[in-house]
Structure 1
Amino acid sequence: MIKILCFLKLILITSICCAQQTELAWLDENSISLKSYQKKLKTDLKGVEVLMLGEASHGTKEFFLEKNEIIKYLISNDGYTQIGFEHMDTEIQKINDYISSDRNQDLPKAMENLMAYKTQEFAELFQWLRSYNIKNPNHKVAVFGFHKEGFYDPFTRDQLMCEEVVKVKDATNAKIILWAHNIHTARNKTMPEISAMGDYLSQTYTDKFFNIAFDTYEGDVHTMNWSNENGYTFDIKTLPPVDKDSFTSIFNQVKHPNFYVHFSKGNPFVSQTRKITNIMVNWKAPFALPTTIAEDFNALIFIRKTSASDVIK
């Protein structure tokens, strides 16, 4: 009996290793370095009107910078004019006032209550949007927050936030980019365990909706803590080691350290569920969550080594 069990275990290990080699070969062939992927992204987005950009944390510098570059590229080259953020609508309205005016505006004051998004990376994006609007008065970009006061029930929040996006889409008929955590971006229930924004938006816009997950293998991240005495305070944490059987571990072996990949038809990840990095706004386990990645997301951006966002003091 012991020999049979050892033989079956060997077969299982061999099968897993072969599967991972197949997956890695597919990723090496289909992934594109972040140095040269934007034209491919634009092609993948043909016919898309709502693009959702995830992030494995709300405190990673490289995620913010890469999303900034996507937003700037798509505004300049693909007609996107509405940018929505997973943040309070009244606070993002202050940012919209800033980017919509050519009068002297106090950006630090407008960003005062952006909490995890009160960073140099966001300030750079907002400054670019303001400059773009000044130069393009007939094609201005607007920003909005799709979280509102009262959207705190985890069982209804994503549906309510989706409804806010639909309102903007109906009112403007614009192409929209949405900025949120991977959990809200996912199409299926594997990661969030309930229907998230990605699920509701996918049902609403079908093939006009496209979502991208972000993942990382190692580095540091900014997290937030709350206390009645000090309010919100920030801390830098080092990401824990990655499970060897996770998607993240496989992504770390791809020939490009930083890459974009579209989970096109025929990819080997269909129906496979493993973990990717997950850091909540506060430092709270678990630090990885399962995802059926090729069903949850249309595409992935992976950045091997990341660092904490540059918080504005």
Structure 2
Amino acid sequence: MPGNTPIARVTSTTAITSTTGNSSVNQDWTFGGTWPYRPRWFNSADGRMHYVDEGPRNGRPIVMVHGNPTWGYLYRRFIAAVTQAGYRAIALDHLGFGRSDKPDKPQLYQIPHHGDRCEALLESLDLKDATIVVQDWGGPIGLTWAARHPERVHSLVVLNTFAHRPPGKVPIPLPLRLFRTPIIGEVMVKGLNAFVKLFLFKAGLVYPERLGDREKAAYLAPHPTWSSRTSMLVFPREIPAGSKGRVSDFVAGIHDPLVKAFSHKPVFIAWPMQDVAFTPDFLDNLWLQDFPNAEVMRIHDAGHYIQEDAHEKVIPKLLDFLARNT
């Protein structure tokens, strides 16, 4: 399955056809020049996926994987920085996000399916000596590829995320509990677009004022309709409630081969200490137990979306880490 799916590419930075679930035909996707990257396309069995692939073809690949409810735009500053430093930057949009197709089929957005599609896309690029950067749901999704193909991955960059079987009952913040509740969740996420407007734009940031009109437009554009927001609703409903269950079993299957493969490879962790979802306990009691020799950066004034709150702190450390671990 992975690596056998055909790729189609276009050269325009403006959408020329409607994306499934997205009525924005001819939407300008540059957002005032903040996203100047050429779109590329991967045809998965479940729908077309968008990604960008910037920088020199012979540069070391830096793969960036987003979570909910964002898309590759979250890494716009990272892409610019690593390509300027001579690296190759790849940032994908999960099915249901960004410029990727948005079928209104909740079962397609279960974590194992996301992981398989991410693996298939990255395998189609035949990457070698890569560094993978993961955050939020990008962790279990992107690290699926790293765990299954460690020979392709040189190092890990872990932002606030997880790839572990929960040791016990998982504390879920009130907004996420509401999103998981039938009917209430549909109204809040699919009707009111609350995940974007209330969490991404407000509660998930320490510095919400940093998001201007262009940035907000970029995060609103991919999900203009009720049906296009199905993917956003599935993610909070995929959060495991405890150590048992489908998602817990899936991440446990990633965890053990990941730790085995990368225990002696370079690992850099940057953690926002004010994340309401991934608290410092995830860092201290999970990640640092797995990778005690990892380089760690604790950012005290950053929330869940660390790429927005603290990009000016994380990017220099990332570039230094890459330069020292060639």
TM-score band w.r.t. shorter chain: 0.3 to 0.5
Flag the structure with larger Rg. Answer: 1
More strand by share: 1
TM normalised by structure 2 equals 0.33
TM normalised by structure 1 equals 0.34
**Structure of higher RCO (CA pairs closer than 8 Å, 6+ residues apart):** 1
